[in-house]
């Protein structure tokens, strides 16, 4: 129903990557939060290929709210590698790719801030696609609850009948599993839109 509002998903390339982060918290008066984990899921020929997670040592403390979401303590994060030492494999994965992010207005500026902060160079990419913004018109006309950012990944997972990867575990967020969940939802939307099933 109202599949035309999801038309943009059918225009995604067959190959792309999905990126997600878990952070020390939300932006505040001290600026953007730090990345604690960064997950990337690779989609090739419209099929989910691999997922990888980078554990990154933050410079800022992890807030109690963030801890309740991803379950990573400050003590655990202190053992992670610094961002600049992990940037090369991250950058190589991003290079020349279309990057899909659910809530790109949150994750992408934080990544760019880290690149700038450490004096690194962002590789050339094909572009950025926010699956949350792209699904918003459809979710709104279907009267699904949306925040000011759009429909949550949990909501899309439920209403589309997509396998809940996080629900199969302990329910906590993780950058790799959330990027994979986003890839699953994007591909279901794409297939259903083309088959006129949404």
The CATH number for 113's domain is 3.30.420.10
Q: Please count the other Cβ atoms lying within 10 Å of the Cβ belonging to residue 195.
A: 9
The number of domains in the chain is 1
Interatomic CA distance for residues 91 and 116, integer angstroms: 13
- Domain assignment present for residue 66? The answer is yes
Predicted local confidence at residue 83, as pLDDT: 98
Predicted local confidence at residue 166, as pLDDT: 80
131-141 vs 175-194: helix crossing angle, rounded to 10? 50
- Return the residue matching tokens 């109690």: 64
- Domain assignment present for residue 164? The answer is yes
- Domain assignment present for residue 175? The answer is yes
The answer on pLDDT for 142 being more than 80 is yes
Q: Is the dihedral of CA 38, 10, 5, 181 positive or negative?
A: negative
Predicted local confidence at residue 198, as pLDDT: 62
Query: For the chain, how far is it from start to end, CA to CA, in angstroms?
Result: 5
- Structural domain for 164, as ranges: 3-192
- Domain assignment present for residue 81? The answer is yes
The answer on pLDDT for 9 being more than 80 is yes
- Mean pLDDT of the region 89-118: 97
Give the residue among 109, 154, 139, 148 at the shortest CA–CA distance from 19.
109
Q: What is the pLDDT of residues 19-68, one digit of tens each?
A: 999 999 999 998 999 999 999 999 999 999 999 999 999 999 999 999 99
> Per-residue confidence at 152, pLDDT binned at 50, 70, 90?
very high
- Domain assignment present for residue 198? The answer is no
The answer on pLDDT for 3 being more than 80 is no
- Mean pLDDT of the region 64-90: 96
Q: What percent of the chain has pLDDT over 90?
A: 88
The tokens describing 154, both together, are 């949990």
- Domain assignment present for residue 197? The answer is no
Predicted local confidence at residue 196, as pLDDT: 63
> Per-residue confidence at 182, pLDDT binned at 50, 70, 90?
very high
């Amino acid at each position: 129903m109202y599949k035309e509002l999801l038309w943009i998903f059918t225009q995604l390339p067959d190959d792309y990557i999905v990126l997600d982060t878990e952070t020390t918290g939300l932006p505040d008066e001290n600026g953007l939060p730090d990345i604690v984990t960064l997950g990337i899921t690779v989609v090739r020929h419209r099929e989910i290929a691999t997922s990888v997670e980078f554990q990154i040592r933050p410079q800022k403390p992890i807030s109690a709210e963030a801890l309740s979401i991803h379950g990573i303590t400050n003590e655990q994060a202190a053992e992670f590698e610094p961002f600049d030492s992990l940037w090369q494999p991250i950058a190589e994965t991003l290079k020349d790719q279309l990057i899909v992010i659910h809530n790109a207005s949150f994750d992408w500026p934080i990544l760019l801030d880290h690149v700038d902060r450490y004096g690194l160079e962002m590789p050339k990419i094909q572009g950025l696609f926010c699956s949350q913004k792209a699904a918003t018109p459809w979710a709104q006309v279907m009267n699904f609850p949306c925040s000011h950012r759009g429909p949550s990944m949990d909501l899309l997972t439920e209403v589309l009948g997509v396998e809940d990867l996080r629900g199969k575990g302990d329910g906590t967020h993780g950058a790799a599993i959330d990027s994979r969940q986003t890839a699953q939802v994007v591909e279901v939307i794409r297939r259903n839109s083309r088959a006129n099933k949404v």
